[in-house]
Amino acid sequence: MNFIRTSLLVACAIAAPLAIGQTAPKLKVGLMLPYTGTYASLGTAIENGFRLYVTEQGGKIGGREVEYIKVDDESDPSKATDNVNKLVKRDHVDVLVGSVHSGVAMAMAKVAKDTGTLLIVPNAGAEAVTGSMCAPNIFRSSFTNWQPGYAMGEYMAKKGLKKVVTITWKYAAGDESANGFKEAFEKNGGKVLKELNLPFPNVEFQALLTEIAATKPDAVYTFFAGGGAVKFVKDYAAAGLKKNIPLYGAGFTTDGTLEAQGDAAADVMTTLHYADSLGTPRDNAFRLAYAKTYKLQPDVYAVQGYDAAQILGIGLLATKGDASKKAEFAAAVEKARIDSPRGTFTLSKSHNPVQDIYLRQVVGKENKLVSVASKALADPARGCKM
């Protein structure tokens, strides 16, 4: 009898920690990203980067195993509120990660603000997310649309270019990128002659290219990304514009797109918070691990996904895995230096990266580092009260 009781006790003592380990709830990460449409490859790169960091941590973040719940947001703002509500109210995710498209991200930020759900934005540059909508539970691992635009405006004006036409998609990302460019370019003596645009995600560029040819600016500044950027850069070259009217842009225009753009992208200069040839040990290790895992070269989107996971890890380390302890989470992230492949960065008070913006030039299949266009550039975070 005694023997049986002792055996049972021993068995329970051995089994108990295992049982606890098995039932410890997984950390539910809601990935709301585009997996179809012009931004599909961007969504995949973000997920790849996020998963790579989690895998490097043994599959756990904040001591909890990670479970992914995925939604294809199709870069469609009209479906975004329903999509994000599914993740928050049906799936009860601990954290939202998304998205690429600024309009979708603003809908996510609204729901995150209203419900208090943790949100990490791994791309979308909408200024409102860390501006008028800023909140203690909203973070961004990427950039604001203003940042690369502003850095390029300064660079092009200082280079002596005087008259520029901008061309982009008509939505928050395009508008804000072109406005950031214009702000710096005109402050430094340049003039934006025309602000051309077309609806997202249209790619019928011909009439606008004809207008550029007729306007004869010194140069063009552009923001496109993904499939649209591939077509724009090819059409610009095919229209014979490149030689007389050099093309400049936010780095998205040539990031993750060079294989498809081929020679059409040669020499194009862009500004971005990443480049293909940084050559730091941190970036080299990241690039090697990414290439081995996915048989693909990483791009800026992969870096932003990786860093979204790093930010989550830093916050959850401080809360011992509890995503609901928002003040402690935010305090830890706010004082962190994030060891990114792009170079270390901090988050501003409004939770947007304060980071170096690089000037890059397309050489072969790479966005080669030329110089640092703007050191530790912080978005002005207009409208953020926090």
Residues binding ligand PHB (CB under 6 A)? 39, 100-102, 123-126, 145, 173, 225, 252
Count the Cβ atoms, other than its own, within 10 Å of residue 55. Answer: 14
Residue 347 CB, shortest distance to ligand PHB, in Å, is 18
Residue 198 CB, shortest distance to ligand PHB, in Å, is 15
Residue 223 CB, shortest distance to ligand PHB, in Å, is 7
* Closer Cβ to ligand PHB, 222 or 340, answer by number: 222
Residue 147 CB, shortest distance to ligand PHB, in Å, is 11
Place of tokens 């690039």: 287
* Closer Cβ to ligand PHB, 150 or 252, answer by number: 252
* Closer Cβ to ligand PHB, 127 or 218, answer by number: 127
Q: Which residue is nearest to ligand PHB (CB)?
A: 225
For residue 64, what are the β-bridge partners? 61
Sheet containing 118-121: order of strands: 60-61, 64-72, 27-33, 95-97, 118-121, 138-140
* Closer Cβ to ligand PHB, 148 or 315, answer by number: 148
Where b means 16+ CB within 10 Å and e means fewer, 216-239 reads ebbbbbbbbbbbbbbbbbbbbbeb
* Closer Cβ to ligand PHB, 124 or 330, answer by number: 124
Nearby residues of 73 by Cβ (< 8 Å), 6 or more positions away: 32, 33, 34, 79, 80, 83, 98, 99, 101, 104
Residue 369 CB, shortest distance to ligand PHB, in Å, is 19
* Closer Cβ to ligand PHB, 171 or 329, answer by number: 171
Residue 64 CB, shortest distance to ligand PHB, in Å, is 30
Residue 17 CB, shortest distance to ligand PHB, in Å, is 46
Cis peptide before 141 (omega within 30 of 0): no
* Closer Cβ to ligand PHB, 100 or 209, answer by number: 100
Residue 209 CB, shortest distance to ligand PHB, in Å, is 21
* Closer Cβ to ligand PHB, 30 or 251, answer by number: 251
Residue 254 CB, shortest distance to ligand PHB, in Å, is 11
* Closer Cβ to ligand PHB, 228 or 341, answer by number: 228
Residue 252 CB, shortest distance to ligand PHB, in Å, is 3
* Closer Cβ to ligand PHB, 196 or 332, answer by number: 196
* Cα torsion angle, 165, 167, 172, 177, sign: negative
